Amino acid sequence: MRLHVFGMMALAGCAVNKPAVQEQTQFATPQGVAAETTLKTVTSNQTPPPTRSQVISEPIFGKQVKDPYRWLEDEKAPEVQAWMKAQDAFAREELHKLPGRDKLMKRFAELYYLDAYGIPVKRAGRYFYTRRHKDKEKAIVYWRQGEKGDEKVLLDPNAWSADGTTSLGVWVPSWDGKKIVFAEKPNAADEATLYVLDVDSGTRSKVDVIEGAKYAGPSWTPDSKGFYYEWLPVDASIAVSERPGYCELRFHALGSDPKGDAVVHPKTGDPKTFLGGGISRDGKYLFATIARGWNENDWYFQRVGKDKTWQLLVKGVDAKYEVSAWKDVFYVLTDEGAPNKRIFKVDPKKPARAGWKEIVAEDKDAAIEDFAIVGGHIATASLKKAVSEVELFTLEGKRVRTVELPGLGTATNLVGLQDDDEAYYSFSSFTMPGQVFKSSVKSGKSALWAKVDVPVDATPYEVKQVFYPSRDGTQVSMFIVARKDVKRDGQNPTLLYGYGGFDVSLTSNFVGFIYPWLEAGGIYAVPNLRGGGEYGKAWHDAGKGAKKQNVFDDFIAAAEYLVREKYTSEKKLAIRGGSNGGLLVGAAMTQKPGLFQSVICAVPLLDMVRYPQFGSGKTWVPEYGDPSIAEEFKVLEAYSPYHQVKYGEKYPALLMMSADHDDRVDPMHARKFSALIQQSSKSGQPVWLRIEMNSGHGGSDMVKKSIESSADQLAFLFHTLEVSAK
């Protein structure tokens, strides 16, 4: 069984290294902060509700750091709630007035209400898969007895709540195919509760109900009588930012009271770590892994029924590992000593690092992103110049073949069982909607299993990959999607999208959101910024911690390239990003405000001085740095968008997209930054804060809300860049 560690983002507080200053205001402020209160209003063509500010000056490592909207951090305060409602109401009222929005709503309804299938999961002859429907808001999980059997509904989140705010999270069928453990998430947040469903009867167990499943990835025992899972205490007295350090690996036996579940690995006590684990398919080996950020992790194992203590397999020192166990052999994928990764074979009886045997060497031209044991072979999914490549090797590492893909785009790895010839994978590109293929590992033959029919004519458009120099001369690749006959006259409305962090790769994927933009004559550009994973570990390392400014330089250089090559101009250029990408566009607009006409910033990090104190912030310290350390504080504060806003600057138009139940990146970032830009910008451009209600970090999983959100975003871009909707 292959185990993944999935990270969620969040950080911790900053050190005050001067004596505390007595408070000078009736407003509650942290110790060591001087404050007085003023009332600021914003003058612009569209004036949002006024926001009071506090003149707060906090001494941190010899520097006075201002924080005028700290009061907006307390979401539960009645004043903050009232402010949020007023800001959201104003933003929605203005957005609904925009010309072309109704046309966009209709077009997105065509693009988003679709019939689509996910990759099937096979268990004991039963097939489990998700399916979307043109007339449903949420995807449904179905099952069949045999590939051609009758389709039966298993999990339908459309029926779980009257208002559609309850969502489906992780779901994992048992090995005998008779049970499924799944997570329910209120408000599409990360917080979740595990339930167990009997597949044949469709009934939920009333006993097997487990709260605290925010990080849970259930791993069934081979006899299907229980599963291992990650558990967090549901205790309001534990600060949200501290909770990751309380994660435990537990075992649940079906039919037993979850309160008595055995703890098989205790909490780490360190909120900057993630604990994960599970059991091999044959039930012989139990694994636990402790990750420190996105650059290193440790692996431990036990022989089930034989060992009482954990044995260290490998200690990650600036290296990360993924382990898959099959037939008493550990297969290890790692970037240790190989930025593009390589694969080792390990004897569990002799697990010392010195005895590992390399079987798949590092490819200097392609970075492995994923590997799996499928059909008695090793399958790898790699990126070569940010384009997918899927390869097959024997268990001894001999290359068998490269899987023939439909074109240049993005493919998943092969998905299947270790001893089953049948495997599946999906593929899409900017101009090709998603397709699922069924493949034979033995023969290499593939056949279309399912595809998405999208009402899009992609023939007028083409995808180019260009390379441009960043500020320090580093060559960065970028995808540009535009009409084949586009005129490079500097007049094309252009949307530049980026992320650049956490080893995440941006590749050529079908995105329905961009088609109304392309149909209106727009250009869509996606650069592969440092901090991402497109070119392996070295690429990620070059955009994290003290080198984070490289990411912003790469993004700004992409914009400058588009202007220089006359794809667009400053007045026709917009940028968009979410989460870590929200930090990206926040930094870009504060560092180069005159380069962009419009900005869409979604669920972002923007206060990099206080980020570890909120949400999952402490877990991101290995990625960004720790503001409680003097040298790292200097780096963070120097680019922190919230702290780099200048009063009187002419900032581009800003649409801030936030969510009221984001329990990953605290919405305080969006609130504070929006208020500060409203108060500071003198461009006369709109600065609107839109808040998605009953939604988490990833937004709502209801199609109608996605339609509204997309229509608002594009209507905003059309308005601020003077584009007419087609």
Which pair of structure tokens corresponds to residue 461? 């458009």
Residue at 574: amino acid letter: A
Specify whether the backbone of 46 is left (phi greater than 0), alpha (psi in -120 to 50) or beta: beta
Instruction: Measure the CA–CA gap between 454 and 181, rounded to whole angstroms.
Output: 32
Q: Which segments of 457-572 are extended strands (E)?
A: 461-469, 475-483, 494-497, 523-527
- Has 579 been annotated as catalytic? yes
Residue 590's Cα: distance from chain center in Å?
24
Instruction: Measure the CA–CA gap between 689 and 707, rounded to whole angstroms.
Output: 18
How many Cβ atoms from other residues are within 10 Å of residue 432's Cβ? 22
What backbone phi and psi angles, to 5 degrees, belong to 462? -140, 160
Instruction: Measure the CA–CA gap between 558 and 717, rounded to whole angstroms.
Output: 19
Angle between helices 101-112 and 703-721 (to 10 degrees): 140
- H helices of 219-263, where? none
Instruction: Measure the CA–CA gap between 372 and 379, rounded to whole angstroms.
Output: 5
Residue that is written with structure tokens 């000593």 in the block: 337
Query: What residues contact residue 632 under an 8 Å CB cut-off, 6+ apart?
Result: 545, 546, 625, 626
- Angle made by CA atoms 206, 211, 213, in degrees to the nearest 5: 125
DSSP state of 617: B
Q: How far is CA 329 from CA 86, 164, 304, 332, 338, in A?
A: 60, 45, 15, 10, 22
How many Cβ atoms from other residues are within 10 Å of residue 457's Cβ? 9
- Has 53 been annotated as catalytic? no
Instruction: Measure the CA–CA gap between 258 and 262, rounded to whole angstroms.
Output: 9
Instruction: Measure the CA–CA gap between 365 and 53, rounded to whole angstroms.
Output: 52
Residue among 241, 324, 428, 579 flagged as catalytic = 579
Q: How far is CA 127 from CA 147, 148, 150, 173, 349, in A?
A: 6, 9, 11, 10, 36
Element (H, E) at 194: strand 193-198
Which pair of structure tokens corresponds to residue 525? 């550009």
3-class DSSP state of 601: strand
- Which candidate, 117, 108, 104, 106, places its Cα nearest to that of 453? 117
Instruction: Measure the CA–CA gap between 458 and 432, rounded to whole angstroms.
Output: 8
3-class DSSP state of 327: coil
Q: What is the largest CA-CA distance in the chain?
A: 76
**Number of C-alpha atoms within 13 angstroms, CB side, residue 623?**
31
Residue that is written with structure tokens 């180069």 in the block: 592
- Helices and strands (H and E) in the chain: how many: 10, 42
Residue among 697, 700, 710, 719 flagged as catalytic = 697
Contact at 8 Å (CB) between 523 and 486? yes
DSSP state of 711: H
Instruction: Measure the CA–CA gap between 147 and 125, rounded to whole angstroms.
Output: 8
Instruction: Measure the CA–CA gap between 190 and 175, rounded to whole angstroms.
Output: 26
Q: Which segments of 422-564 are extended strands (E)?
A: 422-429, 432-440, 446-451, 461-469, 475-483, 494-497, 523-527
Q: Which residues are marked as active site?
A: 579, 697
